[in-house]
Chain A
Amino acid sequence: MSKLIMLRTDSRLVRSLGATLTALPAYQSALADAPPAFTEVGLRYSHYSEDSLPEERVIFGSPSRYDIDVTQLWIEAPVGGAWSIALDVQNDAMSGASPWFVGLGLDGEPGVIMSGASIEDNRVEVGVTTRYFWADGNAGLAISHSEEDDYEALSFAFDVAWNSADNSRTWTASASSSNDNVSPVKERIPVFIDEESLNTQSMYFGVSQILSQTKIVRIGLSYTQSEGYLTDPYKFADRRPDTHDKWTLSAGYRQFMVNMDAALQADYRYYHDDWGTDSHTIEIGWHQNLGKHVLAPYLRYYTQGEADFFSPIADRSQPFYADDYRLSSYGALTAGVRWTVQFGDWGIEAQAERYRSNNDWSLFDGDAAPALVDFWRATVGLSWRFD
């Protein structure tokens, strides 16, 4: 009797030898873009929990904030020899309160008036992506629809990746369009619109270059243009322009350390928009292989300058105004760790992340927003692949 041998290895020795094979013609076709070899089904659950606001920063309402439970289910399967299709379904169950507006407290400092009663909402997003693969690249077409009590979005996206003849360089381009409809629920807090729309177009161009068998670098530029209702309908003192142009320049570097059986990841992102906001993001990560396990701690620093029309207490005499902490000047630190393990056809993942923000940590000048958020996020996931 004989038994079928399952072959899944990821040892340092095999990776080290395998890295030298990539330049040989016999293994070039293995590098060529190809549909996934297996069908994969996965389920992931994340819990996002915002810290309560410090009592001294709240003028009215409960200091408790948002909790979100995110459940994702996906399946990706090869179709024929050159296509794949993927279905993603995501459910976000949100509950809690959010800052309504910022006023002046008895102590003369800006304080937050919360939205009061706990808001319960559910968002369901369904996306389908089909992808075509050929020897030098792949192209994907995606459509997704999301719906919640007060928001509906339909988006289309197209992306293409093209490899150079020696597979050392990959050009990537994508374009997407989203048509959103806002219809705020009026029972919660006073809102001043019935229904509004928002259209967003986005495009991206990037290139990645393999520098050596252990190093890869990438750079990308994106532009996003939104037109329509960009104001937050649930904020009392919020009036924003009807257009928003955003540019992002991103770069990344990966280096595999053969002797340590690990990889270093470094990413940078610069953002600029026509609302006067600039931001920088730096992330450093370390991916340590430990047999079948991968442990990946990371640290991210984010800093942004305030929008032209932001002030801690909105100045409603101006054409545009907002007291939304997300438009203020602040810095944020995220520390997290991700663990993955592969047992045969089964993959398990877990991730924990802590995010803290503070006006003092910003590289930009600007007044502090009292409602700056801190949060925890934890994720667990399971995937299974089969022929």
Chain B
Amino acid sequence: MGGPAKVLVVHSPKDVTQVKRLLNDVERRLKELEQKWSRYKPDSLISLINARAGSGIATEVDAETYHLLEVCRKLWTESDGLFDPTAGVLRQVWDFQRGTLREPEKLPALLHCIGFDRVRVSSSTVQLEKPHAELDLGGVGKEYAADVAAAMLREAGYKNGLVELAGDIVALGHNPNRSPWQVGIRDPASPEQSHMTLEIENAAVATSGSYYRTIHQGDHQYSHLLDPRTGWPAEGPRSATVIAENCLIAGAVSTVACLKKTSEASEWLEESGLPWLLVSAEGALLGPLCQKSS
């Protein structure tokens, strides 16, 4: 899912074999989700749906994919269309893997492919009405996968552990020292360093940011977070960090925040009622977590 995965389980020495088996199961399950939802895998379910865009052929999907798309629909509605899983088609122009902008003249045509209201979702099939449209579960897929891994640990009876999927974190209970888990929040100005540490128990932390996977054009640095209304990278905050009961909500709320202008992002985060931290385009720290941590 586009990044490293780390799963820690706090257990007694006698549980070593059992925990190894559990971690194998977690890895297998995460790979299964990646095989379904990764847009980088040409034989994934999402790639198949995208390949059939505009063909009139519906692709059969499992219940989990259907329900995740329903979450996307809710988020699309709540964000007034700003969170749009069909905006991934813009990557035909904005190639963040290679860091280049290709054929910007194609943008107006690609904008016509965008719109989650043009995605036909039934409980068993999905179909993209528009030719060239693409589904991309960025902002929810990896976050959901982190929650899946955490749920597997809980179901196996382990109340203390940590799941980290490329920066999205779910903390179960406490760390081996019986203290809250300490989670470093990356400084967008120097992403290899943490600019604050949070202590969390039984909560998830997700950070969305415009500071990684960027494209440099002249003096300008373009974010990988694309505004589905304009087709251009969002020019909102550098990063948004949200703490929630689960990673899917934390990730969804932080992703939408990064697609908004800083002032609107603050309002959105405030409305969520969740603890949040925003690093504005100018580098200012905003939000209730500023007071909570150092």
A3 to B200, CA, bound (A): 9
**Which residue on B lies nearest to A25, using beta carbons?**
B64
A14 with B293: in contact, given A5-B198, A24-B68, A29-B151 (CB under 8 Å)? no
Cβ of A1 within 8 Å of any chain B Cβ, yes or no, is yes
B34 to chain A, nearest CB (A): 15
Q: Inside 8 A of B150's CB, which chain A residues have their CB? A: 26
Q: Are A24 and B157 in contact (CB under 8 A)?
A: no
A9 to B252, CA, bound (A): 16
**Which residue on B lies nearest to A9, using beta carbons?**
B273
Q: Are B272 and A14 in contact (CB under 8 A)?
A: yes
A24 with B64: in contact, given A14-B244, A29-B155 (CB under 8 Å)? yes
B275 to chain A, nearest CB (A): 5
A11 with B157: in contact, given A3-B199, A17-B252, A26-B144 (CB under 8 Å)? no
Cβ of B74 within 8 Å of any chain A Cβ, yes or no, is yes
Contact of A17 among B67, B75, B144, B157 (CB under 8 A): B75
Q: Are A13 and B273 in contact (CB under 8 A)?
A: yes
Q: Inside 8 A of B278's CB, which chain A residues have their CB? A: none
Cβ of B243 within 8 Å of any chain A Cβ, yes or no, is yes
Cβ of B289 within 8 Å of any chain A Cβ, yes or no, is yes
Cβ of A117 within 8 Å of any chain B Cβ, yes or no, is no
A12 to B274, CA, bound (A): 11
Q: Inside 8 A of A30's CB, which chain B residues have their CB? A: 151
Q: Are A13 and B78 in contact (CB under 8 A)?
A: yes
A131 to chain B, nearest CB (A): 19
Range of interface residues on A (Cβ < 8 Å): 20 to 34
A17 to B294, CA, bound (A): 30
Q: Inside 8 A of B151's CB, which chain A residues have their CB? A: 25-30
Q: Are B275 and A11 in contact (CB under 8 A)?
A: no
Q: Are B74 and A20 in contact (CB under 8 A)?
A: yes
Cβ of B124 within 8 Å of any chain A Cβ, yes or no, is no
Q: Are B182 and A10 in contact (CB under 8 A)?
A: no
A11 with B200: in contact, given A23-B70, A24-B144 (CB under 8 Å)? no
A10 with B273: in contact, given A2-B182, A4-B199 (CB under 8 Å)? yes
A16 to B249, CA, bound (A): 10
**Which residue on B lies nearest to A291, using beta carbons?**
B273
A9 to B201, CA, bound (A): 15
Cβ of A276 within 8 Å of any chain B Cβ, yes or no, is no
Cβ of A7 within 8 Å of any chain B Cβ, yes or no, is yes
A26 to B294, CA, bound (A): 33
Cβ of A21 within 8 Å of any chain B Cβ, yes or no, is yes
**Which residue on A lies nearest to B66, using beta carbons?**
A23
A2-B293, A16-B78 known; 18 new pairs, CB 8 Å cut-off, are A4-B200, A5-B243, A5-B275, A7-B203, A7-B274, A10-B273, A11-B272, A12-B271, A14-B253, A14-B272, A20-B74, A21-B249, A23-B70, A26-B144, A26-B147, A27-B147, A28-B151, A81-B157
In order of increasing CB-CB distance, the 9 nearest A-B pairs are A11-B273, A9-B273, A2-B197, A26-B147, A26-B148, A4-B199, A23-B67, A20-B74, A26-B151
